[in-house]
């Protein structure tokens, strides 16, 4: 089994081989879908090093190692896929999907939690958090930025288009962080945003379901979230749960401050409610009449 071989040989591996070992252990699900060239690009070594690494572990080459990794990943998801495929009712279908989600999260905690730890530590030190993404990734970026703003943190969401990216980049500083939500889409513009942010000296983080997407390859920190589902469509529940995990970790050290902010927010809402109750009818009627007249 490749994990046992890596653990047994780890102390004797060269620095380059250790980089490969760390990546394979931490991102096994992703490695199952990478070629030797793609893996070398992700880790930052040449393809020949990938082949020699596999041989160092006792395999004939990367192909044999890759096949064992694929079997390992396939065996972990086969049970829930079978349960969904054989479902005779909506309840059985949902139970199978829930089991698949549970396995995805369990696998994620085992293989990629270290990248979440790194992401949280980077975000904690940020002066300003910039969030972006393409397609539905932009909606997630807006949601996360808004959650941060509510708690008094400096955060901005923007689309990675030419004008908005250029405008945002001019405002970014080296103390800021760019966070990208890539899902399973190619996200080329988001990848260019990461590349340009890196050139400006920012820390960059990508949450993605695809370790070979351009933002994932360009980011300082890449969190690869499981998205495989027996339903035949990419699942997005895991990325939201990981995002919630990051949010809770960020907020925990300032829980007292958060509670105070919540109390102040509630007080302001009560004041607004009281103002509404005390608002005379004449403040509302004329605008309403004008609205009806214009509609007519």
Q: Is the pLDDT of residue 227 over 70?
A: yes
Read off the pLDDT of each residue in 85-113 and give the average, rounded to a whole number: 79
Assess if residue 94 is contained within a domain. Answer: no
Assess if residue 92 is contained within a domain. Answer: no
Tell me how far apart the terminal alpha carbons of the chain are, to the nearest angstrom.
Answer: 76
Read off the pLDDT of each residue in 182-189 and give the average, rounded to a whole number: 84
Spatial CB neighbours of 90, under 8 Å, sequence gap ≥ 6: none
pLDDT interval class at 260 (50, 70, 90)? confident
pLDDT interval class at 202 (50, 70, 90)? very high
Residue 193 tokens, joined: 């945003």
Q: Is the pLDDT of residue 77 over 90?
A: no
pTM for this predicted structure: 0.65
Residues 143 and 185 in one domain: yes
The better pLDDT of the pair 230, 16 is held by 16
Assess if residue 167 is contained within a domain. Answer: yes
Sign of torsion over alpha carbons 229, 41, 38, 5? negative
Assess if residue 95 is contained within a domain. Answer: no
Residues 151 and 245 in one domain: yes
Tell me, what's the pLDDT at 284? 67
Residues 60 and 122 in one domain: no
DSSP secondary structure string for all residues of 115-159: HHHHHHHHHHT-SSEEEEESTHHHHHHHHHHHHHHHTT--EEEE-
Q: Is the pLDDT of residue 125 over 90?
A: yes
Residue 231: closest CA among 105, 117, 116, 80: 80
Domains identified in the chain, total number:
3
**CATH, residue 58:** 1.10.10.10
Neighbours of 230 (CB within 10 A): 20
Range from 44-48, 84-88, 207-211 that averages highest in pLDDT: 44-48
Tell me, what's the pLDDT at 78? 62
The better pLDDT of the pair 138, 72 is held by 138
Residues 271 and 234 in one domain: no
Residues 226 and 267 in one domain: no
Instruction: Give the separation between CA 296 and CA 292, rounded to whole angstroms.
Output: 6
The parent domain of residue 211 ranges over: 112-255
**Which secondary structure element, helix H or strand E, spans residue 152, and what is its range?**
none
Residues 71 and 158 in one domain: no
Instruction: Give the separation between CA 119 and CA 179, rounded to whole angstroms.
Output: 9
Tell me, what's the pLDDT at 279? 82
- The 3-state DSSP composition of the chain as helix, strand, coil percent (nearest 5) reads 70, 10, 25
């Amino acid at each position: 089994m490749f994990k046992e071989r890596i653990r047994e040989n780890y102390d004797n591996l060269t620095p380059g081989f250790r980089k490969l070992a760390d990546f394979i252990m931490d991102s096994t699900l992703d490695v199952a879908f990478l070629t030797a060239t793609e893996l070398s690009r992700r880790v930052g070594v040449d393809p020949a090093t990938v082949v020699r690494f596999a041989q160092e572990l006792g395999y004939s080459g990367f192909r044999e190692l890759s096949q064992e990794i694929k079997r390992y990943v396939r065996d972990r998801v086969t049970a829930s896929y079978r349960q969904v495929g054989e479902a005779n009712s909506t309840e059985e279908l949902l139970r199978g999907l829930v089991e698949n989600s549970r396995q995805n999260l369990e696998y994620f905690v085992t293989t990629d939690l270290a990248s979440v730890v790194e992401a949280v530590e980077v975000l904690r030190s940020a002066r300003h958090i910039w969030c972006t993404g393409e397609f539905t990734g932009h909606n997630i970026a807006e949601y996360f930025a808004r959650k941060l703003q509510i708690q008094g943190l400096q955060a901005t969401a923007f689309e990675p288009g030419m004008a908005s990216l250029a405008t945002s980049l001019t405002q970014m500083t080296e103390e800021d962080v760019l966070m990208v939500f890539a899902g399973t889409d190619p996200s080329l513009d988001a990848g260019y945003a990461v590349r340009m942010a890196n050139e400006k000296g920012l820390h960059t983080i990508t949450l993605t379901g695809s370790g070979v997407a351009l933002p994932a390859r360009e980011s300082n920190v890449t969190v690869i979230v499981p998205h495989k589902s027996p339903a035949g469509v990419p699942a997005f529940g895991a990325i939201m749960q990981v995002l919630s995990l990051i949010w809770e970790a960020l907020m925990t050290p300032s829980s007292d401050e958060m509670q105070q902010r919540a109390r102040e927010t509630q007080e302001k809402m009560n004041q607004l409610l009281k103002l509404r109750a005390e608002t005379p009818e004449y403040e509302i009627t004329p605008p309403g009449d004008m609205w009806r007249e214009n509609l007519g």
